[in-house]
Amino acid sequence: MKKKAGLAIGFIVYLFLIYLISVIESKDPNANIQSITDALWYAIVTLTTVGYGDFYPVTPLGKVVGLFVILGSLGVIGYFIGEISSRINTYMEKKKNGFFGTKFEDHYLIIGWNDFGRKVADQIFPTGHNIAFVTNLKSDLELIKDLYPHDQCFAMFADYNNMEAYRKANIEKTKAVFINFNEDTETLVFVLNLKREFSNLNIIVNCTNPDLKETLINTGIKHVVSRSEVAARLVASYLFEPHVAEFTEDLISTSIKMEDQDIQQFKVTEQNPYKGLTYFDAFVKMKKEINVILIGLVIDNRIIKNPSDTQSIEKDQYLIVISVGQNKNQLEKLFGVKEGL
């Protein structure tokens, strides 16, 4: 408030000096500043540092007042340059921090950044999907932007309890939200608050303590991933059936190389050529025509691992298939949808 009052007083003084120089100079018949409009033009030319020289004070007192007008003009131009620079810097800082939000839709949102979150993102980006990140550390922003393509990545700095930030990340139009905190109790409290604000989210959480898995599931979370359980199962598999473990690890990883095997899921749309076929007919046709193995269906959010031969494939179900990386683009074009949810 004091700053605004000071600026207002300074501007009034500046205008008074312009008026004063017009009064002083108009009393001299040889002066070229004879009116307030002449004085304003002199001030503007001085302010913009153009210096045409068509108007200037000739009287001694007018020159003294003119000096103060020049100094005032320097102050005015300095203020405006500083204000413009400040606003540009503020805008760029807000943009850098993601405060203007994103227009991403059907994207994935990762809340909480660490090495595990990075590994998850590394698996998603090669599929061509967009990811929005929310982190409470500014140091993470530059790292995220350096790691991933800008057209697929949006990163925001925000307090995790600021629900407005998630609206800017377009959380209500996400395919899934991955909550990636280090502490399970923090995750539990956060999920309850998030679901109170946004009730229809597809939430996946990272759980470090398997004993809390059931508690988290009881909050309505669809999928709770316990890293220790997954790692233990894979290690055990490597111990007594290493080739199966290698095959499994390859299947659950996103295809990077053209020869990589991958388990993928695709939503059945009207465009899907296998819609309306039985599972057996689709299995045979898919294997013969595109060398892809149909291994299951998702019906009403339930995985059918070994459907009956007569099970019909209908719209809004999901096909679960095994393919190689080189088939991915072909499948997405054939099915009319991207891999995933």
- Are 193 and 287 in the same domain? no
- Are 171 and 89 in the same domain? no
**Cα separation, 205 vs 41, whole angstroms:** 67
Q: Domain for residue 236, yes or no?
A: no
- Are 326 and 272 in the same domain? yes
CATH number for the domain including 143? 3.40.50.720
- Are 54 and 89 in the same domain? yes
Q: Domain for residue 251, yes or no?
A: no
332 burial via Cβ count (<10 Å: 0-12, 13-18, 19+): middle
- Are 224 and 325 in the same domain? no
Q: Domain for residue 252, yes or no?
A: no
Q: Domain for residue 241, yes or no?
A: no
**Cα separation, 97 vs 332, whole angstroms:** 34
Q: Is the dihedral of CA 314, 317, 320, 321 positive or negative?
A: positive
pLDDT at 312: 92
Tens place of pLDDT per residue across the chain (341 aa): 666 777 777 778 777 887 787 777 778 777 777 888 877 787 777 777 676 666 767 777 877 777 787 777 777 777 788 888 888 888 888 888 889 999 999 899 999 998 888 888 888 888 788 999 999 988 888 889 888 888 899 999 999 999 999 999 999 999 889 998 888 888 888 888 998 899 888 888 888 777 777 887 787 787 888 777 766 766 777 666 777 667 676 666 665 555 567 788 889 988 889 999 999 999 999 888 888 888 889 888 888 888 899 999 999 889 888 887 667 778 888 888 887 77
At 133, give phi and psi (nearest 5°): -115, 140
Q: Domain for residue 253, yes or no?
A: no
- Are 149 and 76 in the same domain? no
- Are 8 and 91 in the same domain? yes
pLDDT at 155: 92
CATH number for the domain including 58? 1.10.287.70
- Are 19 and 48 in the same domain? yes
**Among the listed residues 92, 98, 109, 94, the one whose alpha carbon sits nearest the alpha carbon of residue 156:** 98
Question: Which residues share a beta bridge with 320?
Answer: 265, 296
Q: Domain for residue 285, yes or no?
A: yes
**Cα separation, 261 vs 325, whole angstroms:** 6
- Which H helix or E strand runs over 264? strand 261-267
Count of C-beta atoms within a 10 Å radius of residue 2: 6
Q: Domain for residue 83, yes or no?
A: yes
Q: Which residue range(s) make up the domain with 331?
A: 258-335
- Are 200 and 142 in the same domain? yes
- Are 28 and 92 in the same domain? yes
- Are 183 and 282 in the same domain? no
Please count the structural domains in the chain: 3
**Cα separation, 162 vs 192, whole angstroms:** 14
Question: Which residues share a beta bridge with 203?
Answer: 177
Domain closes at, from 43, 72, 96 = 96
- Are 264 and 326 in the same domain? yes
Count of C-beta atoms within a 10 Å radius of residue 248: 16
pLDDT at 120: 86
Question: Which residues share a beta bridge with 134?
Answer: 111, 156
Task: Report H helices in the chain.
Answer: 2-26, 36-47, 60-96, 115-124, 138-147, 163-168, 184-197, 213-217, 227-240, 242-252, 279-290, 328-335
pLDDT at 172: 92
Q: Domain for residue 189, yes or no?
A: yes
